[in-house]
């Protein structure tokens, strides 16, 4: 069995979490297994090493897990993007629509310099709202988005539609 299939089989479905009707894709079995976690990071690193990426943006909270290990592997800086009020310094904020309401993401104003090559990473692409807001923040600071990367993409939710014109890489598609 190849490493992609091993990763796919390790992801477990949790029905009705966090609310009824949602089937949550649980990545903790991948994180708990050193070989699987290493495989996931190696897949990303193999794609992005030697591409001149200067910063890796990780989205709160599971995106931090992949972005930090990947930034280390490719020799890039790590930039956390968080929910409002979680970052201690001056921030830029981008709001986005949820199914029932609105949310926002923030980034430190000094996190990215104009022209820096940036890779944005999260664990999962669902509807794309969080990532679209994050990419807007990166570009507002002058960063150049190299690509967007996810461990998992839920294709049936059409998150790619919100990220039109972006290069998107997903290790696993469901």
Number of C-alpha atoms within 13 angstroms, CB side, residue 63?
23
Average pLDDT of every residue of the chain? 97
Per-residue model confidence (pLDDT) at position 162: 95
Mean pLDDT confidence for 50-60: 98
CA–chain centroid gap for 159, Å, is 13
Per-residue model confidence (pLDDT) at position 42: 98
Per-residue model confidence (pLDDT) at position 43: 98
Q: Which two tokens stand for residue 142?
A: 């002058």
Per-residue model confidence (pLDDT) at position 101: 80
Q: Which residues face 107 on adjacent strands?
A: 92
Per-residue model confidence (pLDDT) at position 40: 98
Is 48 buried (19+), middle (13-18) or exposed (0-12) by CB count in 10 A?
Answer: buried
The enclosing H or E element of 93 equals strand 91-98
pLDDT, tens digit, 9 for 90 and up, residues 60-75: 999 999 999 999 999 9
**Per CATH, is 51-173 categorized as 3.40.50.2020?**
yes
Residues belonging to the active site: 62, 99
CA angle 58, 11, 166 (to 5 degrees): 40
List the one residue out of 138, 85, 147 whose CA is nearest residue 112: 138
pLDDT at residue 98 is higher than 90 = no
Confidence of residue 100 (pLDDT cuts 50, 70, 90): confident
Q: What are the domain boundaries of the chain?
A: 51-173
């Amino acid at each position: 069995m190849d490493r992609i299939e091993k990763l796919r089989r390790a992801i477990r479905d949790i029905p009705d979490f966090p609310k009824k009707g949602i089937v949550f894709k649980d990545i903790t079995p991948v994180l708990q297994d050193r070989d699987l976690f290493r495989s996931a990071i190696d897949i990303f690193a193999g794609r992005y090493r030697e591409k001149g990426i200067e910063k890796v943006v990780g989205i709160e909270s599971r995106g931090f897990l992949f972005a930090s290990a990947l930034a280390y592997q490719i020799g890039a800086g790590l930039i956390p993007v968080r929910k409002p009020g979680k970052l201690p310094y001056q921030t830029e904020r981008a709001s986005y629509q949820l199914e029932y309401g609105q949310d926002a993401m923030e980034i430190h104003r000094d996190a990215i310099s104009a022209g820096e090559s940036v890779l944005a990473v999260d664990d999962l692409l669902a509807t794309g709202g969080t990532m679209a807001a994050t990419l807007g923040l990166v570009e507002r600071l002058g960063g150049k988005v190299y690509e967007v990367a996810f461990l998992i993409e839920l294709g049936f939710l059409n998150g790619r539609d919100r990220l039109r014109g972006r290069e998107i890489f997903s290790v696993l598609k469901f």
